[in-house]
A = this chain, B = another copy of it.
Amino acid sequence: MDLCSMDMEQDSAVDRMMEPRSIAIVGASSDARKRGYQIVESLVRNGYPHPIYPINPKGGAILGIPVLSSIDELPLELDLAVIARPADQVIPILEACCRRRVAGAVILASGFKESGPDGARRQEALQSFLATHDIRVIGPNTSGIINFNHGADLVGLKQQCRIGPISAVTQSGNMLLSLLADIEHHRTPGLDAYAGLGNQADVDVAELILAFSRRASTKAIAVHAEGLHDGRALIATAAEVSRGCPIVLVRGGRSEAGRHTALSHTGSVSGSDRVATGLLGQAGIIQVERVDELAVVAGALSSLPLPKAGKGVAIVSDGGGHATLAADSLTAAGLRLATLSEQARQALHRYLGATAAVSNPIDVASAGDASPRLFAQCIELLQSEPDVGVILVVGLLGGYHLRFDPEDEVQENAACLDIGRTAAAGKFPVVVHSCYEHRRPAAHQHLREHGIPVLGSIEHAVSCVQALVRRSHWLATAAQRTDAQALGRYARPTGQRTASVLSEPEARASLAAAGVDTGPWLFAENAAQARAHVAALGRPCAFKIVADGISHKSDVGGVRLNVGEDLAETAWTGMVEAVRRAHPDSAIRGVIVTPMIDAGTELLIGVTVDPGFGPMIAFGAGGVTIEALQDIAFRALPLTELEAKEMILETRIAKILAGYRRLPSIDMDTLARFIVDIGASSLRMENLADLEFNPVILNQSGLHIADVRLISAP
């Protein structure tokens, strides 16, 4: 089964745009400097096999193709029109296209949302038009789209590009050029289809990813995105697409400085980097940290089988230097070296000699003059090791004849062919680093022809291994993850809403109604009642003032801790007086009384509704001190227990929750269920804007919600 060609709604307008069987160029030109000429020229040069309809009121012909003088002369039901005319002419042109029932248009013009208030108004007008007309639009302000198989290049590239299994969508046209450069530079698999996002006035990144995933010729999708306008749509789509086809993403605008730049670039704002990292990963998106990894990692995911989940990595090296660096890099990437069986180690000793290092990393160097044949033998052996899921070769493979004896080339080529065939036959992932990669030996081509990436950088090779292992793990546990339908049930909020902070009794009551037990609490309206409440709760209590417009209670003397029954009335009086002094005009409603909670590890659990991603949950270290350290992870709601556990394990404080010296511990299942329940309850609360439990105290008797803050947006 081809996992990447999902059998969904077929031949949507976007699918037709990406596989066009007819193209109109509105604004075609015979001036070689103009985009309207370059597109026609590029279609002709690349041998685009379907009808081309240049349109220009002047008529005539461009490169021998007759030019239509008006859109109205087009045949009906064209797949695609490219609009190479200025912004102010776009809507009338779209109207004309609609009359001819053109499926979709690519709008190249800038001058929309990215260019200030006038542009923003122009984009609003465009979107209003599209809401009532039956045509789909990519852009405006897009670099164009390309179908590499058919030579349908509407970007107008000058360079040849290797056709291959990667489809790409980028925010910036230059990122397409970077991708093409890296494909050529690192000799990774080539491109199938491309779309420039532009301002996403209609078709957005999620819809393009979905369209690409439907292409039988696409085996991986590479994405460069900046602002994630509708993050919820993206994660819902990705959660579905990722089940079949890998999505690799590099994001721009992750830093404050970068966001500022992205804003002036496309008019879109990215949210918090940490939020996006958590939620995109939850949806199965493989995020790369570096631009120079996008082609490399997408290429590896497109060409290699996945390792079996839960298994480790075997390193086969020539010499300890590269092996050590590879082991370091794998560890930093969160990967584990495989443990080899006793039989395997004995067999490796037979191949490599009694003194060889065979307990992973496996070092072939000690077997005298290293022979590429030894690599092939070791790799074949390791493929059947129970704990080995993927093999990373580091060193000189493919370059021995360059380093030592040129006569070894025949033998080396044969060995690499062997490695390629054995790996392909066993559907086993092998990644090769070679410091002779830049010399382009034929041996590397033998490896690549069998889907094995060969990389000149150890770190790039490790990034490929990391992506394979992560994806394997995600897929193996996909059934335990929130699916696209569940994610799609909750949209990001639209429009501006006013929000208000609930008083703590209101908040606790709302939470109780939604099924969240915030522990015992009582509301006192006078001193005597406060004293009675302390008696009823049976232990020293915390008093917190409930008064209109006062949110930082402790700053105004509105909090008393460890209040016993005997001092309850004194505490009441003292608090009320202090708050009156600080806020003479504030109406004091009373005091909330809660039993003191024994000290322990302070955690934070929060729920918020993100403008891009919709409802989401946060977990991390709590309390004032650690809160400043921002040790917090995020997931979209709803979330599953598995996802909650993964979220917990992303934080540094997770290290001490399973038991550390004399600190209280908790098992991960219990904590994960606690988080999942809070998430589920929050989704039942209408008008929830923001919920924060900080601290949630983990002590010897369990988890206790010590403080509650709830904001609603009715």
Residue from B257, B328, B355, B555 within 8 A of A257 (CB atoms): B328
Q: Is A488's beta carbon under 8 Å from chain B?
A: no
Tell me the nearest residue of chain B to A318, going by C-beta: B174
Residue from B158, B291, B357, B396 within 8 A of A264 (CB atoms): B357
User: Would B331 and A255 count as touching, CB distance under 8 A?
Assistant: yes
Could you mark each residue 55-84 of chain A with 1 if its beta carbon is under 8 Å from any beta carbon of chain B, else 0?
000000000000000000000000000000
User: Would B625 and A601 count as touching, CB distance under 8 A?
Assistant: yes
A257-B331, A320-B262, A327-B257 given; A655·B628 CB < 8 A: yes
Could you mark each residue 447-470 of chain A with 1 if its beta carbon is under 8 Å from any beta carbon of chain B, else 0?
000000000111110000000000
Residue picked from A115, A291, A601, most chain B C-beta under 10 Å? A291
Interface positions, chain A 222-264, Cβ under 8 Å from B, are: 224, 226, 250, 252-262, 264
Q: Is A266's beta carbon under 8 Å from chain B?
A: yes
Taken together as a complex, chains A and B put the C-alpha atoms of A566 and B627 apart, in Å, by 39
Please name all residues of chain B whose beta carbon is closer than 8 Å to the beta carbon of A363 when the two chains form the complex. Answer: 264-265
User: Would A435 and B178 count as touching, CB distance under 8 A?
Assistant: yes
Tell me the nearest residue of chain B to A185, going by C-beta: B438
Please name all residues of chain B whose beta carbon is closer than 8 Å to the beta carbon of A395 when the two chains form the complex. Answer: 174
User: Would B252 and A158 count as touching, CB distance under 8 A?
Assistant: no
Residue from B177, B266, B554 within 8 A of A435 (CB atoms): B177
User: Would B321 and A173 count as touching, CB distance under 8 A?
Assistant: yes
User: Would B327 and A457 count as touching, CB distance under 8 A?
Assistant: no
A159-B402, A185-B456, A255-B327 given; A322·B178 CB < 8 A: yes
Least CB distance, A443 to chain B, in whole angstroms:
15
Residue from B266, B290, B458, B655 within 8 A of A629 (CB atoms): B655
User: Would B328 and A258 count as touching, CB distance under 8 A?
Assistant: yes
User: Would A171 and B629 count as touching, CB distance under 8 A?
Assistant: no
Please name all residues of chain B whose beta carbon is closer than 8 Å to the beta carbon of A652 when the two chains form the complex. Answer: 629
Q: Is A489's beta carbon under 8 Å from chain B?
A: no
Q: Is A303's beta carbon under 8 Å from chain B?
A: no
Please name all residues of chain B whose beta carbon is closer than 8 Å to the beta carbon of A435 when the two chains form the complex. Answer: 174, 177-178, 180-181
Least CB distance, A263 to chain B, in whole angstroms:
9
A402-B159, A456-B185, A624-B661 given; A177·B396 CB < 8 A: yes
Taken together as a complex, chains A and B put the C-alpha atoms of A369 and B35 apart, in Å, by 11
Tell me the nearest residue of chain B to A177, going by C-beta: B435
A185-B456, A261-B327, A328-B257 given; A321·B660 CB < 8 A: no
